Amino acid sequence: MQRRHFVRNALAGAVSAAAVASVPGTAQAASDMGLTNIVFTEDDPGHFAKVAKLHVPEVHVEGGMLKVHTPHPMSEAHYIVSHTVVLEGGKFLSRTTFNWKDKPTSEHKLPEGYKGKVMVTSTCNLHDWWLKEVSV
């Protein structure tokens, strides 16, 4: 399986898992759902534990804007590929892609008055797919 297809399939599965996890009373860790080493989180960094701090997206909300930053160095050989934002219930909001010359920072406008959970992902070309869930 090509890496690109693996990442896409893992993303689809993880978004579904995250949507399930966002339903009140059903919250589960990625490890509880058998997603260890597929979906990486701060609490479940799997085999990438030593580099977790560089990959978990930092998320802040200001004035209806979701601001995302991944504290990861950017080089042609190793960089953050994208940020994706999915709202509670699996509703896709937006995605920002990067090349290695970019700063891994993005902004996403939340729907007016949105209250709920937000799943934010940061994808590294070498260290896969990292998920951060926040409530706004």
Question: Where do contacts with Fe ion occur on this chain (CB under 5 A)?
Answer: 124, 126-127
CB of 88 to Fe ion, least distance (A): 28
CB of 48 to Fe ion, least distance (A): 8
CB of 8 to Fe ion, least distance (A): 18
Q: Which of 72, 117 has the CB closer to Fe ion? A: 72
Q: How far is CA 5 from CA 1, 2, 8, 36, 103, in A?
A: 7, 5, 5, 18, 25
Q: How far is CA 117 from CA 41, 81, 99, 133, in A?
A: 16, 23, 28, 7
